[in-house]
Chains A and B, each alone.
Chain A
Amino acid sequence: MIGLARVFSAIAIAMRAVLRNKLRAALTILGITIGIAAVVTMTALGDGARAKINGQITNLGSNALIVFPQSARASGARTTGGSKLSESDCQALERESTSIKAAVPFLRASAQVVYEGQNAKAEVIGSRIGYLKVRNWELQRGEPWTTSAENVSEKVAVIGAGTAKDLFGTADPVGRWIRIGRHPYRVLGVLEEKGPSPFGRSQDDVVLMPITTMRSHVRFTRPGETDAIMMSATSPETTDRAKKQAEEILRQRHRIREGDEDDFLIRSQAEFQQMQDNIYGVLSLLLVGIAAVSLVVGGIGVMNIMLVSVTERTREIGIRMAIGAREMDILVQFLVESLVLATLGGLVGTTIGYAAIVGLGAALDLPMKLAPQALAVALGTSTAIGLVFGFFPARRAARMDPVQALGRE
């Protein structure tokens, strides 16, 4: 057992040894510094991205459900061909289910939108006017189209905030005519700004029009065909029931026999959220893995330098032993030295990581912050590295034979 005074003097000795070789110390801790900086930054980046996505998902409405077509295996053969979902499915869903508030069709195309020489790429969506309610989208100006416009395939559109800005700048687009392909469409309204989707695609570069208009002028499909069906449950609590009912209704309408697979797939917003969480979980695991590798490399760097240091100071070790240092004294001296090095690396790394967080947060517009847990983990990890990788060199120093260490053979 060594007293507190001896521990303090061991720390003082270690600090002096570290300060004596500043350049070497700096190079030694580089690995740990980079590793810790990476851990701190990555954790904050992952947390920031997740926080932002969660914000967007609540925006979409937690009671939203989407039906996708899915080629199903019927009697062993996989059926091919276009989507099996139709507008009459939508009407049936609305009519027959007690938990579905609205169900609208969804056609999609990519197109170039033109207004007086200004060009913009946009996603064209054809649907019923109920689409806005299902997606929880609001208009910032103008008004939606009417059901009669849907019936007569009127050339009208509601555009996203991004498209409006690209084509019109600060001018008011309502009442003006935009062109897609050869056809002009009158702008009825502009959507609220929504920001990028979880996967980075802008949700504001969009042109919304009646599905009938889209089918006659932009994307020519069979009558009634739809790429997907967007639904909203009557409330977030009834989402599961709505999903079940929709399944039954669609199986019946598509004449799917007992035991056969569905030819559609229903996903709720909650399931999307779950999927995204999983993706980000894997992503952050990967980042942490990379950081762990760099920390191990950093630790080996510390061990390497400590071994060099022990060899260089063999005579010093011999002198200390001759005048009464015990194995534990020498062990503690070198262990403290590697601890000081590693912790220093952790502190510098945390500082760099913090700077990176501030910089990246501003550049990417993410709510990034230094989490106290991340700080604790970073410093704890670097201390542990110092202990683990410093132990072997320190033990080698402590087990030296004083006669050999003094060069007295």
Chain B
Amino acid sequence: MKDAPPIIEFVEIHKDYVTEAVVVRALRGVNLTIRKGEFVAIIGQSGSGKSTMMNIIGCLDRPTRGQYILDGIDVGARSNDARAIVRNHLIGFVFQGFNLLPRTTALENVELPLVYRGVAAAERRKRALASLSAVGLGARLHHTPNQLSGGQQQRVAIARALVTQPPLLLADEPTGNLDTRTSYEVLDLLQRLNREQGITIVLVTHERDIADCAGRVVEMRDGSVRRDIVNERPTDAGRALAELPVQDEHGATS
């Protein structure tokens, strides 16, 4: 892992928000390198700057100062459209609120990134089906988000993130709306994707238990990296799941 090429390089990244003459310094000179194949958790209280960091890593926002190199591309200064293309090709997003399109079937949600890539309909369908079965959702393809449980919705979101086969998966509080059992199911899925397919995963959370599933934990406080430690023995989410008391899979609330 130490020898793998870097996928994320933050060089003195600053982010200031100017609101009503008050300057909020959300990031204050962050230096961070994440290599291909890593599973990194970014942890911190609200206001620590972890969400801002996530927005910049995901090319949703631009740093005020500093250099951000994603997979060898300096994306900090790129235009809106260029960053949209980078998002489409290099990044898969998984959000806390799932962020699936309402009144749109699971299959169509998963196809959407390929629509913006200009992939033909038949090919889109094929790849979306493959991606959905990879996350264990072979059925319920034509259900809309409100007909799916929270865990199922998050699986659809992960399938959507993976359908473009991006090298980087960004998960922002992916278990925030899920119960413990479903949380571990999702984490198990992320660990397996990281282990078996070598996808780099950056997971943002404020829960220590969740962060412990990652191989490296970056702790944020007041817009700076406070600690950056390698987790020698990450929690195996699959094993943690097996140790949980047995309950009905769909009885859980979400």
| A residues apposed to B, CB below 8 Å | 2-3, 5-6, 9, 20, 315-316, 318-329, 402-403, 406, 408
For B24-38 the 0/1 string (1 means CB < 8 A from A) is 000000000000000
Across the interface, do B84 and A406 meet the contact criterion of CB distance under 8 Å? no
- Nearest Cβ in chain B — how far from A270, in angstroms? 64
With a cutoff of 8 Å between Cβ atoms, the chain B residues found around residue A325 in the complex are 84, 116
Across the interface, do B60 and A403 meet the contact criterion of CB distance under 8 Å? yes
Across the interface, do A323 and B60 meet the contact criterion of CB distance under 8 Å? no
State A328–B81 Cα separation when bound (angstroms). 9
Chain B CB within 10 Å, residue with most, of A5, A322, A323, A325 = A323
**Does B101 make an interface contact (CB < 8 A)?**
yes
Across the interface, do A326 and B85 meet the contact criterion of CB distance under 8 Å? yes
Given contacts A6-B118, A321-B84, A323-B93, contact A402 B60 (CB under 8 A): yes
Given contacts A323-B88, A324-B113, contact A20 B118 (CB under 8 A): no
Which of A6, A315, A326, A406 makes the CB contact (< 8 A) with B60? A406
Nearest residue (CB) in A for B170 is A322
Across the interface, do B55 and A6 meet the contact criterion of CB distance under 8 Å? no
State A320–B112 Cα separation when bound (angstroms). 8
Across the interface, do B58 and A322 meet the contact criterion of CB distance under 8 Å? yes
- Nearest Cβ in chain A — how far from B75, in angstroms? 14
**Does B160 make an interface contact (CB < 8 A)?**
yes
**Does B103 make an interface contact (CB < 8 A)?**
yes
Nearest residue (CB) in B for A399 is B80
Across the interface, do B99 and A6 meet the contact criterion of CB distance under 8 Å? no
State A129–B185 Cα separation when bound (angstroms). 109
With a cutoff of 8 Å between Cβ atoms, the chain B residues found around residue A328 in the complex are 81
**Does B121 make an interface contact (CB < 8 A)?**
yes
How many chain B residues have a CB neighbour from A under 8 Å? 31
With a cutoff of 8 Å between Cβ atoms, the chain B residues found around residue A3 in the complex are 118
Across the interface, do B115 and A9 meet the contact criterion of CB distance under 8 Å? yes
Which of B51, B84, B100, B172 makes the CB contact (< 8 A) with A324? B84
With a cutoff of 8 Å between Cβ atoms, the chain A residues found around residue B120 in the complex are 5
Given contacts A323-B87, A326-B85, contact A403 B113 (CB under 8 A): no
**Does B61 make an interface contact (CB < 8 A)?**
yes
Given contacts A5-B120, A6-B118, A329-B116, contact A324 B87 (CB under 8 A): yes
* The 4 nearest A-B residue pairs measured at CB: A324-B88, A324-B116, A323-B113, A326-B84
Across the interface, do A323 and B160 meet the contact criterion of CB distance under 8 Å? yes
Nearest residue (CB) in A for B161 is A323
Which of A315, A323, A408 makes the CB contact (< 8 A) with B55? A408
**Does B117 make an interface contact (CB < 8 A)?**
yes
Chain B CB within 10 Å, residue with most, of A5, A6, A320, A403 = A403
| B residues apposed to A, CB below 8 Å | 51, 55, 58, 60-61, 80-81, 84-85, 87-89, 93, 95, 99-103, 112-113, 115-121, 160, 164, 172
CB-defined A-B contacts under 8 Å, sample of 15: A5-B120, A20-B103, A315-B99, A319-B100, A321-B87, A322-B93, A323-B88, A323-B116, A324-B113, A325-B84, A326-B116, A329-B116, A403-B55, A406-B99, A408-B172
State A406–B101 Cα separation when bound (angstroms). 12
- Nearest Cβ in chain A — how far from B25, in angstroms? 15
Nearest residue (CB) in A for B89 is A324
Given contacts A316-B101, A408-B51, A408-B55, contact A322 B80 (CB under 8 A): no
Nearest residue (CB) in B for A316 is B101
Across the interface, do B103 and A6 meet the contact criterion of CB distance under 8 Å? no
Across the interface, do B99 and A322 meet the contact criterion of CB distance under 8 Å? yes
State A320–B115 Cα separation when bound (angstroms). 10
State A80–B100 Cα separation when bound (angstroms). 89
- Nearest Cβ in chain B — how far from A408, in angstroms? 6
State A316–B103 Cα separation when bound (angstroms). 11
Given contacts A403-B55, A408-B55, contact A323 B61 (CB under 8 A): no
Identify 8 new A-B residue pairs, CB closer than 8 A, beyond the known A5-B119, A319-B99.
Answer: A5-B118, A6-B118, A319-B100, A322-B60, A322-B99, A323-B112, A324-B116, A406-B95
Nearest residue (CB) in B for A8 is B121
Nearest residue (CB) in B for A20 is B103
With a cutoff of 8 Å between Cβ atoms, the chain B residues found around residue A408 in the complex are 51, 55, 60, 172
State A155–B61 Cα separation when bound (angstroms). 102
- Nearest Cβ in chain B — how far from A158, in angstroms? 78
Across the interface, do A5 and B121 meet the contact criterion of CB distance under 8 Å? yes
Across the interface, do A319 and B84 meet the contact criterion of CB distance under 8 Å? no
With a cutoff of 8 Å between Cβ atoms, the chain B residues found around residue A20 in the complex are 103
Nearest residue (CB) in A for B96 is A408
Across the interface, do A319 and B115 meet the contact criterion of CB distance under 8 Å? no
Given contacts A319-B99, A322-B99, A402-B60, contact A6 B116 (CB under 8 A): yes
With a cutoff of 8 Å between Cβ atoms, the chain A residues found around residue B117 in the complex are 324
Given contacts A403-B60, A406-B60, contact A326 B55 (CB under 8 A): no
With a cutoff of 8 Å between Cβ atoms, the chain B residues found around residue A316 in the complex are 101-102
Nearest residue (CB) in A for B163 is A323
Across the interface, do A324 and B85 meet the contact criterion of CB distance under 8 Å? yes
Given contacts A5-B120, A6-B115, A408-B51, contact A327 B80 (CB under 8 A): yes
State A402–B160 Cα separation when bound (angstroms). 18
State A322–B60 Cα separation when bound (angstroms). 7
With a cutoff of 8 Å between Cβ atoms, the chain B residues found around residue A326 in the complex are 80-81, 84-85, 116
